Amino acid sequence: MTDRPNLPEIAPATDEAVNRAASLLRAGRLVAFPTETVYGLGADATDDRAVASIFEAKGRPRFNPLIVHVVDRTAAQAVATFDERARLLADIFWPGPLTLVLPRAPGAAVSLLVSAGLDSVAVRVPGHPVARALLAACGRPVAAPSANRSGGVSPTTPLHVSDSLGHRVDMILAGGRCRIGLESTVVDLTGPRALLLRHGGVTREEVEELIGPVEVETAPSQAPKSPGQLTSHYAPGLPVRLHATEARPDEALIGFGRNLMFVKGGAVRLNLSEQGDLQEAAANLFAMLRSVDRPGDFSGIAVTGIPDRGLGVAINDRLTRAAAPRPAPLTAQDPDAEKT
């Protein structure tokens, strides 16, 4: 998009830019920033109006809770109540791609809108140095969903953010491409049984090694605990076809490792990881989906099978949602429209 008059500033993350971004946050403005998972659309989590403007910028219906990003465990404990399981997981995986859903700490200074009416709160200490510098400079917890319009593909570069949000964000702190490229794993510890709400950068097995069995929230019933679990969620504009064993001449084909050799056809052929490395594939996933999401050029996106182990589980989860039947177009007024 080149004809937008008010493109947001994309600033390399110098000390000066980080301080300016922190001031913007404290003034209630929106700043997109890199994390090791995806770019986040940040707002001061203690400021209701700022948090509300996240929903507005994303075109995201209101009742979805947001992740609160904090600089360290101490800051997290001001927001949420930790039990032994939470302490163990935080010790090992923070800073990093794990989000814990915990009871709100009594008197937590976080906007109720962040929790969307629940008495829980999702917290995470991100590992990306720019995110950490920003959180330290800001001195407040920062609410941040992925920095894309609702229902779209999560951004893993600054340009993805400006393409998706344009002038709806006040500043984009640039910190290169996200290393992991998939959102954080979300684990709910509000009840006696740990619940995996979203697959992500940390695998279920890694979590279970520390705290024992973790149940996976399966197909959401009427009231999904985590809106990220809704069926058509990570949806590109073009239809997505999974487990492709061949591609039509007008389809874009995305493969993995040596799989691609056995699949014929495709107007373009991209490999998530020639080495068959799931981590590399996760990091490339959203960027590749975006790069071929061109309805003028292709009729659809065909994807070969991806191994369903380790990070492959999270990749397949995102792909399944991208390929799910699309709901009718959503409007912000639709109370049932829960997409993040």
Which partner in ligand TXA, Mg ion, none is near 173 (CB below 5 to 8 A by kind)?
A: none
Q: Which stretch binds ligand TXA (CB under 6 A): 85-93, 117-125, 249-257, 309-317?
A: 117-125
**Which SS3 state, helix, strand or coil, does residue 225 take?**
coil
148: alpha, beta or left, given left = phi > 0 and alpha = psi -120 to 50?
beta
Determine phi and psi for 316, rounding to 5 degrees: -65, -35
Counting Cβ atoms within 10 Å, is residue 79 exposed (0-12), middle (13-18) or buried (19+)? buried
User: Among 77, 162, 164, 226, which residue sits at the site for ligand TXA (rule: CB under 6 A)?
Assistant: 226
**Of 330, 312, 305, nearest to 58 (Cα)?**
330
Nearest residue to ligand TXA, scored by beta-carbon proximity: 228
Q: Which residues contact residue 91 at a Cβ distance below 8 angstroms, ignoring those fewer than 6 apart? A: none
Binding track over 1-40 against ligand TXA, x by CB under 6 A: ----------------------------------x-xx-x
Q: Which stretch binds ligand TXA (CB under 6 A): 7-15, 86-94, 182-190, 316-324?
A: 182-190
User: Among 46, 77, 120, 164, which residue sits at the site for ligand TXA (rule: CB under 6 A)?
Assistant: 120
- By the rule CB under 6 A, 75 interacts with ligand TXA: no
**Of 224, 186, 183, nearest to 336 (Cα)?**
224
Task: Report the greatest alpha carbon distance in the chain.
Answer: 59
Which of 96/312 has CB closer to ligand TXA?
96
Which of 198/290 has CB closer to ligand TXA?
198
Sheet of 300-303, strands arranged across: 240-241, 300-303, 251-255, 268-271
Confirm if 23 and 302 have CB atoms less than 8 A apart. Answer: no
CB of 19: closest distance to ligand TXA in angstroms? 21
- By the rule CB under 6 A, 184 interacts with ligand TXA: yes
- By the rule CB under 6 A, 118 interacts with ligand TXA: yes
The residue ranges that bind Mg ion (CB under 5 A) are 146, 340
The residue ranges that bind ligand TXA (CB under 6 A) are 35, 37-38, 40, 64-67, 99, 101, 115, 118, 120-122, 124, 126, 144-146, 183-184, 186, 188, 197-198, 225-228, 340
